[in-house]
Amino acid sequence: MRTLFYLEPSAARGGIEIFAERHAAALRAAGREVEIAHEVPADLAPFDEIVVHKCTDLATLERFPPERTVLYVHDHDPICPRSYAYTPLRRNCTRASGIWPCLLCAPLCRNWRPALGRVLSQRRRKRDLGRLRGLVVISDFMKRRLVANGIPEEKIVVEPPEIPVGGGGTAAVPPDVDLLFVGQLIRGKGVQLLLCAMARMRTRRTLDIVGAGNLEGRLRALSEKLGLADRVRFRGFQADPQAWMRAAACVVVPSFWQEPYGLVAAEAVALGRPVVAFAIGGLPEACGGKATLVPPGDVAALAAALENE
């Protein structure tokens, strides 16, 4: 069986890219022939199955034959014109998408033109999703969100990801890793909330930040402003984040947005590390009852949980 994996080009290797790479590797190990593409091949006939892991452009999605196409829904793109499922006021949105609620919200984002286009094409998008052979989500939370947005329940399959836990690794990790954040440095990941929580703590715990992103400069400035510069270390992108997790006293997942799942939390739990996270989106499922969960966005509760961990 020949399978095509499609992911639109991305500026960063994030959770979706990691998931797709692991998925492709698992299928290859099972004897399947898998090709990964970032552009739609001119000839799709040779492929028995097409697995789309990331495609925000509706015209591109419509180029794939629906009877052979399975869409993995890793984020809120199919149902939120702004993609992130939170409003310009930084509040998470739990509404079903529609012309009027989204028309008031989408034009206020940075990329307002494509967001507005997605508002106006919502009916077409939902129709196209309903025609696909199937949709796969990685949490019951995301299944509920899709069903609430009019996607037929019988089309949706929940498949939590397998979390590979490798050996000790060869990465050089400092011996004094205390609190650890792993992920992209973007607003939805909530590192700004974690820094504010650290500023409220009585104990002088340290934080290592593994990852990169467009918010790094602001986060560095915030750590200086809060008097945390000597306790917060920006480590940049690391090829073996699991090595850092193994060394950490506690892995913190302070996501502001509604995580569809939360691979970092699941990996840390699989590695037997203590995890403190906001109870938002699919994070409670990813943690499987083995983490300290605090109310979403509650900085004081996050600070208290980190002091007690």
> The whole model's pTM is what?
0.90
Give the up-direction half-sphere exposure of residue 180: CA atoms within 13 A in the CB hemisphere: 29
- Of 158, 187, 215, the residue that ends a domain is 158
> Please, which pLDDT band fits residue 167 given cuts at 50, 70 and 90?
low
Overall number of domains in the chain? 2
Residue 174 included in any domain: no
Amino acid in the structure at residue 99: I
Let me know if residue 8 belongs to a domain: yes
pLDDT for residue 309 is more than 90: no
For residue 98, pLDDT over 90 is answered with no
- Place 172 in a pLDDT band, splitting at 50, 70 and 90: confident
Predicted confidence at residue 134, as pLDDT, reads: 96
Confidence of residue 59 (pLDDT cuts 50, 70, 90): very high
150 and 227 in a single domain? The answer is no
* CA 303/CA 309 separation, integer angstroms: 10
At 165 the pLDDT is 80
- pLDDT exceeding 90 applies to what percent of the chain? 72
Same domain, yes or no, for 154 and 184?
no
Using the 3D structure, point to which of 125, 158, 191 is the last residue of a domain: 158
Task: Please report which confidence band the pLDDT of residue 249 belongs to, taking 50, 70 and 90 as the band edges.
Answer: very high
Which residues touch 199 (CB under 8 Å, ≥6 apart)?
Answer: 226, 227, 228
Long-range contacts of the stretch 26-34 (C-beta < 8 A, 24+): 26/162, 27/3, 32/1, 32/2, 32/3, 33/1, 33/2, 33/3, 34/3, 34/4, 34/5
Confirm whether 232 is domain-assigned.
Answer: yes
Q: Is the pLDDT at 67 greater than 80, yes or no?
A: yes
pLDDT at 11: 64
Within a domain: 99? yes
One domain, residues 215 and 298: yes
Residue 12 has pLDDT above 80, yes or no: no
Averaged pLDDT, 20-41 = 92
Question: According to the model, what pLDDT value does residue 91 have?
Answer: 85
Residue 257 lies in a domain: yes
**Residue 9 pLDDT greater than 90, yes or no:** no
The answer to whether position 166 is within a domain reads no
Higher pLDDT residue, 9 or 2?
2
Radius of gyration for the alpha carbons in the chain, expressed in angstroms and rounded: 20
**How far apart are alpha carbons 185 and 44 in whole angstroms?**
36
Average of pLDDT values for 230-236?
Answer: 96
Within-domain flag for 172: no
Q: Which residue has the higher pLDDT, 90 or 238?
A: 238
Q: CA separation (Å) from 126 to 99, 136, 160, 272? A: 13, 15, 23, 40
Instruction: Check which CATH number belongs to the domain holding 138 and give it.
Output: 3.40.50
- Structural domain harbouring 50: 2-158
Does one domain contain both 233 and 123? no
Q: Give me the mean pLDDT over the 243-259 stretch.
A: 95
118 pLDDT exceeds 80? yes
Q: Does residue 169 have a pLDDT over 70?
A: no
Instruction: Looking at the structure, tell me whether residues 96 and 207 fall in a common domain.
Output: no
pLDDT average, residue stretch 6-31: 86
CA angle 71, 72, 77 (to 5 degrees): 90
Mean pLDDT in residue range 120-141: 94
Domain identity same for 40 and 137: yes
Cβ atoms of residues 116 and 137 within 8 Å: no
- State the Cα–Cα distance between residues 234 and 181, nearest whole angstrom: 10
Average pLDDT of the residues in 104-124:
87
pLDDT at 170 > cutoff 70:
no
- Alpha carbon distance 16, 128 (integer Å): 22
- Which of 158, 188, 209 is the C-terminal boundary of a domain? 158
- Regarding whether 205 and 298 lie in a shared domain, the answer is yes
Residue type at 155 in one-letter notation:
K
Query: Would residue 170 count as lying in a domain?
Result: no
Question: Is the pLDDT confidence value at 78 over 70?
Answer: yes
- 150 and 6 in one domain? yes
